[in-house]
Chains A and B, each alone.
Chain A
Amino acid sequence: CTTLYRNHGYVPTDEELAAVSIGDTRDQVDAKIGRPTTSGLLNDVGWFYVQSRFSYRGAFEPKEIDRQVVAVTFTESGTVANVERFGLERGKVVPLSRRVTESNIKGIGFISQLLGSFGRIGPGIIGAQ
C-alpha cells in the first residue's frame, strides 16, 4: 500500500532566511520571515520555526520522517543574536509521562450520558425481517 505524507508547521525558505542578519529587531525579522510557529518560554527570547513531515503507512503509527527547525535567538536588547538551523537529529524521543492532574469537577454521570443522547427513532423498527 502506498505511503501518505502530510506536512505540518512552516519554515522560511533559505533565500528568505538569508535576508535576516544579526542585529535585526523583532519587527524586522517579523517583516522578513513572518511570526514564529512557537517561541521560548520567557518573554519570547527565542523565536522557533518548525516544519515537520509525517509519513502514514497503513495501520502503522505515523512517523515523523523529516523536521526542519530554525531558531532565531534574541539578545536582552531585542536584537537578533544567532540564527540556527537544524533538523530531526537533535530531537530526542521522549517517553511521555502518563501522570495527569485530575480535574475535580466530575461532570454528569455515566448513565445520564448514555440516556442523554437518546431520541433518534432507529430505522430498524420498520426494516424488513
Chain B
Amino acid sequence: QSYSFSSVQVEGNATIETATVLSYAKIGRGQEISGAALNDAYQRIVNSGLFESVELVPSGNTLVIKVVEYPQINIVNFEGNKRLKDEELATIAKSQSRRVYSPSQAEADAAAIAEAYRQGGRIAATVDPRIIRRDGNRVDLVFEITEGKVVEIERLSFNGNRAFSDRRLRQVLSTKQAGLLRAIIKRDTFVAERIDVDKQLLRDFYLSRGYADVQVLDASSDIARERDAYFVTFSIREGQSFNIGTVSTVSEIPNVETAEFEAVQRIRSGETWSPALIDNNVTRMENLALRKGLNFVRVEPRIIRDERGGILNVQFALVRGEKVFVERIDIEGNTTTVDQVIRRQFRTVEGDPFNPREIRQSAERIRALGYFSDAQVNAEPGSSADQVVVNVDVVEQPTGSLSLGASYSVSDGVGLNIGFSEPNFLGRGQAVSANVTSGTDSNAASFSFAEPAFLGRDVTLKFSTAYRETSSQNAAYDTQSFSLSPSLEFPVSELGRLETRFTIGQTTLSGVEPTSSFILQRDAAREGITTSSIGYTFSYDTRVSGVNPKGGVLLRFSQDFAGLGGDESYILTSGLALAENKIFKEEVTVRAIFEGGALAMLGDNPSRVTDRFFGNGKIRGFESNGIGPRDLVAENQDALGGNLFAVARFEADFPLGLPEEYGIGGGLFLDIGSVWSLDDLDGGTTANGPGAVDDGLHLRSSLGFSVFWDTPLGPLRFNFSKALVKQDYDKEQAFDLTISTKF
C-alpha cells in the first residue's frame, strides 16, 4: 500500500543532525510513496553506517524515524603486542579516536592485525576487539593480542632431483631451513608467498643449466602437530639437459642481409643451452638493428629440438615487426625534475615508429640520471590499433645534500665546513656544488656547475673553480693552489665522447724546512707559478650501450698542453683502460684496470713536486704520498713524486652469500705499479751534503680484499691490504675506507 506524510520526525539522534537523516531518507513532505520506496529509504539510512539500529514507524500522516546512534570512540588501545609497536598497529586499524564506532569495522581491524602477524610468520596470533563503555555514549576500543611463537621451517626436501643434490638446491631457494642462527635469520619463517618465489627460483636454476623442459610440479607444506614447525617438499621433473647445436641467422625482410647480424652473435655450438644466452644474443642483434636505423625489425629466436641427441638448433630470424607508432610520451610523477630533462633522454620522438629496444635503453638513461628512486617506462595502447602511448612514471628521491660540520684535528685545529651539492638544481638537471672548509691552517673552497644539455644539445658544459691550501699532513711543506677550468664535452661517435677544456691555475710551494731535500727547496724558491693549459680527454665506453650486457670496456686518453701564457710549458698525458665482465652466472664481476701517466717538461726548468704524480689512491696498501722516489740523504724524507707512473689493478667482486637487503658484498684485488723518473736528481741537504736520488723504476705490489657496503650515505668500500713488493722507505697502510667510485 502507499502512504503520504505531511511531516517527518527523527528521534534518538544526538550527534547526527536531523537534516542529515532526512537527506539520506529522501522522503518529501506530502509526497506519495509506496511500501517499497519506504524500504529503500530505510536501507539508505542503514547503509550510511552511522546508526546501530533504524526503525521507520508510520503513524497517521507523520513518519517517525527512530534511530540509535553508534557511540563515538574515545581512545583506541593495543595490549599484548611486543613484536609490532602501537604506532604500526594504529596505521593498520581503521577505527580511530573521535570516529564513530562500528562493530564490523572493529572486526575488520582485528583480522587486518592478525594478517600482519601472519606475514611476520606468527601463524598462531589471535586478536580480539573489546569495548569499555564511557559516559556520554562514548566508548574505548581495546585490541587484545596474543602473538604466539614464530613458525619456522624445520626441513626443506626435494624429490625428483637426479642432477643436483638437495644441499645444492637448498642454496638456490630464498627460504632457508631453520638452523643454528634461527633466532636472527628471518628467512626461515614460513610465508606462503615466498614458497612461490622459490618455485620460480628453482625453475630459473634448472633452465640456466640447459634443462629446457624442467617443471617444478608443486611445493607441499605440512605443519607439525604442535603447530610450531613446517616441512616443505618440492617435487621436480627435470627432463634432460640440452646443448646448442647449429646456430644460424636468416632474414625475412627485403634488402636486409644477415652477414652483419651473423657477426654480432656470440653463441658457439656445443655450449649448454640457457634462456639468458638466447636473450643476450637477441639483445645484441636488435641493438645492431637500432644502430643501423632500421624500423620495425624484430629478432625471433626459433628453436628446432633434436630430442635424441639432446641438441637444440637455434635460428635467429629477422622479422618485420608490426607497424606501431608512438602517439604520445606522457611523463608523470616528476614533482621536482622538469619534463624536458626526462623527455630529452628519449631518442624516440612522438610520431616515430615504436622500437621497444630504444624505449628500454631510454629507460636505462632515465634511471642513470640518479634523480629517481624508481622509474618505470612502459607502453600502453594508444587511441588507435597501431598507436601506443609511452608512459613514464617516476618517483623522485631527494638529491640535494647540505652538510654543515665542524672538525677538530690536532694538526689542523678547529675546522668549519659548509658543503652544498645538488645534482638536480631546480629540477633542471644542472649539477651545482659548492663547499667551503676552513681550519686554523688548512682551508679550501670549490664551486662547480654542469649543464648536461647546453643549448638543448647533447653537450655538457662544465665550469669548476677550486682554491686549496694543504698543510703538512703527509709532507713537510705547504701548498697553495687555485684553478679555474671551463670545459665542453660532446659525443664524437656512437660510444665515444670528447671533452675539451681550458685550465688556468696558480700554485705556490712554501714552508719547506731546511732539513728537506734540496730538490724541494729549489722548487720552493720558484714561488708562485701560473700555468694555463688547454687539454682534451677522449673516452670510449661500451658498458652502457648494451652490446654486451654482461661487461664492457672503458678507454680514456687525455692530454693537457701547458705553455701558451703562464710560467710553465709541459705536456701532461694520462690514460686509463678498463675491462670488466661478469662470470659464474653473472654473480662475480672480474675487472682489469691499467692506468698510466707521463709529464714531459718542455721548458728548461724541471718539473715541480706539485705537478708530479704520486700514485695516491692508485695503488692500495700504501699511504698517500707513500711511494715513489725519496731523497734518502735528507733527514726529512718526503716523497718527491715522479714524472711517470703506471699501475695495473686486477679486481674481482662477488656476493658474500648474505641476504641482498643487507647490501654487503666482498672483493679481492691485486695492485702492481710504480712512480718513477725525476728531472732534477741532486738531492741531499745543507747538513749532510749532496747525494743523488734514486729515481729508478721499482715495482710495488699489494694484495688485499675489500668489503662493499651500500649505505644511505653512499656505497662504502673497506680495503684491507698487505704490501707484497715494496721499497723499505715506502709507507704502508693496511686499512682504508673510501667511497667506492664508479668510473
**A/B contact in complex, CB under 8 angstroms:** yes
Contact stretch, chosen from A17-25, A55-63, A71-79, A86-94: A55-63
Q: Are B353 and A122 in contact (CB under 8 A)?
A: no
- Number of A positions contacting B (CB below 8 A): 36
Judge if B426 is at the interface, Cβ distance under 8 Å: yes
**Distance (Å) between the CB of B139 and the closest chain A CB?**
41
A4 within 8 Å of B by Cβ? yes
| Given the contacts A121-B712, A123-B714, A124-B421, A9 and B352 also touching, CB distance less than 8 Å | yes
Given contacts A122-B421, A123-B713, contact A128 B736 (CB under 8 A): yes
- A36 → chain B closest CB, angstroms: 9
Assuming the contacts A62-B457, A117-B422, A125-B403, asked whether A7 and B293 have C-beta atoms less than 8 A apart, the reply is: yes
Give the distance to chain A from B735, nearest Cβ to Cβ, in Å.
12
Contacts of A9 in B (CB 8 A): 349, 351-352
* Chain B residue contacts of A4, Cβ below 8 A: 491, 493-494
User: Is B491 in contact with A122, judged by CB distance below 8 angstroms?
Assistant: no
A7 to B349, CA, bound (A): 10
Q: What is the CB-to-nearest-CB distance from A111 to chain B, in angstroms, rounded to a whole number?
A: 11
The answer to whether residues A35 and B386 also contact, given A113-B336, A119-B400, A120-B400 and a CB cut-off of 8 A, is yes
Question: How near does chain A come to B404, taking the closest CB pair, in angstroms?
Answer: 10
Q: A116-B336, A127-B739 are in contact. List 4 more A-B contacts (CB 8 A).
A: A8-B352, A113-B426, A113-B427, A124-B403
Asked whether B498 lies within 8 Å of A117 as measured between CB atoms, the reply is: no
Q: Which residues of B contact A62 (CB under 8 A)?
A: 457
Which residues from A are CB-within-8-Å of B498? 1, 58
Establish whether residues B493 and A120, one from each chain, have CB atoms under 8 Å apart when the complex forms: no
What sequence of 0s and 1s flags, for each residue 93-129 of chain A, a beta carbon within 8 Å of any chain B beta carbon? 0000000000000000010011111111111111111
0 or 1 for each of B366-390: is its CB under 8 Å from A? (1 = yes): 0000000000000000001011000
User: In the complex, which residues of chain A have a beta carbon less than 8 angstroms from the beta carbon of B396?
Assistant: 117
* A125/B737 contact (C-beta < 8 A), A5-B293, A58-B490 known: no
Q: Which of A6, A37, A123, A125 contacts B351 (CB 8 A)?
A: A37
Instruction: Jot down 20 A-B pairs with beta carbons below 8 A, ordered by A.
Output: A1-B492, A2-B492, A7-B295, A9-B349, A10-B325, A10-B352, A35-B325, A37-B351, A56-B458, A59-B457, A59-B490, A113-B427, A114-B425, A116-B336, A117-B398, A118-B398, A121-B403, A122-B421, A123-B739, A125-B405
The answer to the question of B347 belonging to the interface, with a C-beta cut-off of 8 Å to chain A, is: yes
B407's closest neighbor in chain A, by CB?
A129
Residue of A nearest to B397 (CB): A120
Q: Does A40 have its Cβ within 8 Å of any Cβ on chain B?
A: no
Write out the residue numbers on chain A whose beta carbons fall within 8 Å of the beta carbon of B736.
Answer: 128
- On chain A, the residues within 8 Å of B401 by CB distance are 118-122, 124
**B63-90 interface (Cβ within 8 A of A):** none
- A38 close to B (CB within 8 Å): yes
User: In the bound complex, how far is the Cα of B459 from the Cα of A129, in angstroms?
Assistant: 32
Q: Does B104 contact A (CB under 8 A)?
A: no
A2-B493, A118-B400 given as contacts; is B422 within 8 A of A59 (CB)? no
Q: How far is the CB of A38 from chain B (nearest CB, A)?
A: 7
Residue of A whose beta carbon sits closest to that of B371: A117
**A113 to B398 alpha-carbon distance, docked (Å):** 11
Given contacts A123-B713, A126-B713, contact A10 B295 (CB under 8 A): yes
A38 to B326, CA, bound (A): 12
Return the chain A residue nearest B294 by Cβ. A7
* B398: contacting residue among A2, A35, A119, A125, CB under 8 A: A119
User: CA of A117 to CA of B430 in the docked complex: distance in angstroms?
Assistant: 14
Map CB proximity to A onto B133-164 as digits: 1 under 8 Å, 0 otherwise. 00000000000000000000000000000000
CB proximity of A75 to chain B, nearest CB, Å: 23
Bound complex: CA A124 to CA B426 (Å): 21
Q: Once the chains are docked, how many angstroms separate the CA of A108 from the CA of B455?
A: 25
B323 at the interface (CB under 8 A from A): yes
- Beyond A9-B352, A113-B427, whether A122 also contacts B494 by CB under 8 A is no
Instruction: Give Cα A66 to B339, complex, Å.
Output: 29
> 8 Å CB contacts to A: which residues of B724-743?
736-739
The answer to whether B59 has its CB under 8 Å from any CB of chain A is: no
- Within the complex, the shortest CB–CB distance from A42 to chain B, in Å, comes to 19
CB-based closest 8 A-B pairs: A119-B398, A123-B714, A1-B492, A122-B401, A59-B490, A118-B400, A123-B739, A2-B493
Q: Return A35 CB to nearest CB of chain B, in Å.
A: 6
> How many Å lie between the Cα of A37 and that of B349 in the bound state?
11
* Contacting residue for A10 out of B353, B435, B473, B494, CB 8 A: B353
Residue interface bits B486-516, CB-to-A below 8 A is 1, else 0: 0010111110101000000000000000000
* B422 lies within 8 A of A114 (CB): yes
B738 neighbours in A (Cβ, 8 Å): 127-128
Closest to B402 in A: A118
Cβ of B424 under 8 Å from chain A:
yes
Q: Which residues of B contact A114 (CB under 8 A)?
A: 400, 422, 425-426
- Interface of chain B residues 636 through 677 with chain A (CB within 8 A): none
Chain B, range 400-452, C-beta contacts under 8 Å to A: 400-403, 405, 419, 421-422, 424-427, 435
CB pair A34 B400 closer than 8 Å: no
Q: B399 interface residue, CB < 8 Å from A?
A: yes
On chain B, the residues within 8 Å of A59 by CB distance are 457, 459, 488, 490
B419→A124 contact, CB < 8 A: yes
Which partner residue on chain A sits nearest B419 by CB separation? A124
- CA A124 – CA B425 in complex, angstroms? 18
Complex alpha-carbon distance, A102 and B391, angstroms? 27
Known: A1-B493, A58-B490, A113-B426. A121 touches B457 (CB 8 A): no
* Chain B 584-603 residues near chain A, CB threshold 8 A: none
Give the CA-CA distance A35 to B349 in the complex, in Å. 17
Which of A115, A118, A124 has the most B CB atoms < 10 Å from its CB?
A124
Interface centre among A2, A5, A58, A114 (most CB of B within 10 A): A58
Chain B residues with CB under 8 Å of A124's CB are: 401, 403, 419, 421, 435
Bound-state Cα–Cα, A121 to B711, Å? 10
CB atoms of A34 and B336 under 8 A apart = no
* Distance to closest chain B CB from A65 (angstroms): 13
Bound complex: CA A44 to CA B398 (Å): 46
A24 CA to B427 CA, complexed, in Å: 50
Are A6 and B714 in contact (CB-based, < 8 A)? no
Which chain B residue shows the least CB distance to A33?
A: B323
Neighbouring A residues of B293 by C-beta, 8 Å? 5-7
B457→A61 contact, CB < 8 A: yes
Contact of B349 among A8, A58, A113 (CB under 8 A): A8
Give the CA-CA distance A11 to B738 in the complex, in Å. 54
Provide the bound-state CA to CA distance between A5 and B293, in Å. 8
Most B CB contacts (10 A, CB to CB) among A1, A38, A56, A59 go to A59
CA A124 to CA B435, docked complex, whole Å: 10
Question: Which of chain B's residues have a CB closer than 8 A to the CB of A61?
Answer: 455, 457
Task: Name which residue of chain A comes closest to B348, CB basis.
Answer: A8
Which A residue sits closest to B432, measured CB to CB?
A: A114
Would B421 and A58 count as touching, CB distance under 8 A? no
CA distance A127 to B401 in the complex (A): 14
Least CB distance from A12 to B in Å reads 10
B534 to chain A: closest CB distance in Å?
15
Greatest chain B CB density within 10 A among A2, A37, A62, A122 is at A122
